[in-house]
Amino acid sequence: MDTAKRPNHLDDLYKGDDDVEEIENIKVDNINIQTELSSIESTAASKAAWLISIVVSIGGFLFGYDTGYISSVLVTIDTSLGHVLSTNEQEMVTSLTSGGALVGAIGAGLTADRFGRRWPIWGACLLFVIGSVLQTCAFSVGQFATGRFVVGLGVGGAAMIVPLYIGELAPAQYRGRMVAFNNMSVTFGQLVASAIGAGFAGINGEGWRATVGIGAVPAILLAGLLVTCPESPRQLVSHGKLDEAHAVLTRIYPTSTEGQRQAKITSIELSLQETSNGMSEDSLWTTLKRVFNTPATARAVVTACVVMAISQLGGFNTLMYYAASLFSMVGFTNSTAVGITVSGTNFVFSFVNLFLVDRFGRRIILTVTVLGMSICMIVAVVAFMYIPVNLQTLEVETSHVGWPGDLVLVAIICYVACFSSGVATIAWIGMELIPLEVRAVGTMLNTVTCWGCNIIISSTYLSMMKSWTPSGTFGFYAAICFFGWIFVVFFYPECKGMPLEAVREVFSKGFGVRYSKQWQRDHKHDTTADTMVMGH
């Protein structure tokens, strides 16, 4: 490395070291140097890191709540908007939130590096409040649809920024758990939305308005508490605010030494220097070209986006958006209450991921659960073959469905368990695969993939059920899940415990499956020690 181009912090870090000349000659991209510079990860993290994660995870709760209540609203809204909603109108008001989320994710991605991580979250809070008010006061399909779109803008912004912010702030040994906690907050929001929706379902006519309006409360709470959260140290370093970055690292790693904090900042600077400029100094077009013109970066972003696409196209959100309608179709009389089983299972099994993702890693969890999702969908396909459904009205044509209906319920519960304990969270943890200098735009692409696929699912489900039959529709979801399993087996590397500055090395070796396995073997002792510390 040219001494003239070396950051001054390296001189401070190795000042007085007899081996300084040797260190200067080691390449910047050497994984061992990156690990040494990130030695702060071996120190104890403070409670502040978890408290910050908990606060910003309210954004995840809002994401879950505002996407979760539509299931109960669709079966209780009746003529509140002037008439009973048609199939096309139900698909429209459901998918508009996904459409808004797609736009919101792009907007958050464009502002995240220029204005930091907190301002886009504040913007999302404002959109949550405005959208909730518009829907609560709606007496026409147009106003309700507008409110759904505005809420979607907030959902997209929060869904993109919150995992990015947590991932950059979290210590490496807790990163998976902290991002998983955000996803658990999403599932908790969906559960609360289902429960409140079922509770107000008994109120004839206008009870759904209370379900929608309550969504503004956590947004106001998050906006207030976010004042106590610091900016991401990586974001501060990229803008040259080194003193502030030191202060944040001291807050996150209170037992670290000055040298360790300096080493962490230096590792971030080196990572930024490898591509000369971060996105904060580049145009969006320049950064997008860097993503797809740099093979290693392109492989990282594609891997993250494919896993995200699988999580959405595999059919889960049809259960979240249309659970009450689905269970009504297969013969359950209190379909809104039965729909809570989906949200409840989703929430309970998000705990499973929370405790396993950093202990066993991402790859093995995905391998088991994505295949499980495909098998569960195949079981549902078989069960639907024995349920007589009117394809025009999507209503069951018998007064007693019997065991096929129960089998559908069991298959869906097992499917949701696999989804929640696996790809639901790991799709968002996938931001750890994306290099620092393009992480905001890469995470934006990941989030756009999420909501683009979500739009496809939410806007076509009812139509597919009518034209493809229920068995054909769920067979399509089964095929997507099976493709996802094949992709994970051959292309998804294990990055458990790797410092973010070191993950970039994985995709310089193709898709890095073998390389990451070797890295895990070489660092087995370190990761085991971290796991033992976390376990206690």
Residue 343: partners with Cβ closer than 8 Å, 6 or more residues away? 68, 187, 190, 191, 193, 194, 195, 320, 323
Mean pLDDT calculated for residue range 64-92: 86
Judge contact between 187 and 350, C-beta under 8 A. Answer: yes
The span from the CA of 42 to the CA of 278, in Å, is 27
| pLDDT at site 130 | 96
Pick from 19, 397, 428: nearest CA to 183: 428
| pLDDT at site 204 | 66
Mean pLDDT calculated for residue range 23-44: 51
| pLDDT at site 399 | 74
126-136 pLDDT, tens digit each: 999 999 999 99
Q: Which residues of 303-338 are buried (b: 16+ CB within 10 A; e: fewer)?
A: bbbbbbbbbbbbbbbbbbbbbbbbbbbbbbeebbbb
The span from the CA of 237 to the CA of 455, in Å, is 36
Mean pLDDT calculated for residue range 343-357: 85
Is the whole model's pTM more than 0.85, yes or no? no
Left (φ > 0), alpha (ψ -120 to 50) or beta: where does 394 sit? left
pLDDT at 261 over 70: yes
179-213 pLDDT, tens digit each: 778 888 988 998 899 889 888 877 766 888 999 99
143-168 pLDDT, tens digit each: 999 999 999 999 988 888 888 888 88
Judge contact between 461 and 482, C-beta under 8 A. Answer: no
Residue that wins the pLDDT comparison between 9 and 371: 371
pLDDT at 101 over 80: yes
pLDDT band at 339 (very low <50, low <70, confident <90, very high): confident
Average pLDDT taken over every residue of the chain = 81
Judge contact between 427 and 307, C-beta under 8 A. Answer: yes
462-510 pLDDT, tens digit each: 889 889 998 999 999 999 999 999 999 999 998 877 776 677 778 887 8
| pLDDT at site 417 | 94
Tell me how many degrees the CA angle 173-179-181 measures, rounded to the nearest 5.
Answer: 105
| pLDDT at site 38 | 52
Judge contact between 432 and 357, C-beta under 8 A. Answer: no
The span from the CA of 82 to the CA of 225, in Å, is 39
pLDDT band at 530 (very low <50, low <70, confident <90, very high): very low
Tell me how many degrees the CA angle 480-69-457 measures, rounded to the nearest 5.
Answer: 20
The span from the CA of 95 to the CA of 87, in Å, is 12
The span from the CA of 345 to the CA of 191, in Å, is 9
Kind and range of the H or E element at 389? Answer: strand 389-390
Q: Is 375 exposed, middle or buried (0-12, 13-18, 19+ CB in 10 A)?
A: middle
Q: What is the DSSP letter of 171?
A: -
Sign of CA dihedral 4, 5, 8, 13: negative
Kind and range of the H or E element at 395? Answer: strand 395-396
Longest dimension (CA), the chain: 85
Helix axes 295-313, 469-491, angle to 10 degrees: 150
Question: What CATH code would you report for 47-234+277-535?
Answer: 1.20.1250.20
Most confident of 96-100, 176-180, 349-353: 96-100
Residue 238: partners with Cβ closer than 8 Å, 6 or more residues away? 113, 268, 272, 278, 280
Mean pLDDT calculated for residue range 93-121: 85
Q: What are the residue ranges spanned by the domains of the chain?
A: 47-234+277-535
Judge contact between 395 and 389, C-beta under 8 A. Answer: yes
Residue type for 320, please?
M
297-318 pLDDT, tens digit each: 889 899 999 999 999 999 888 8
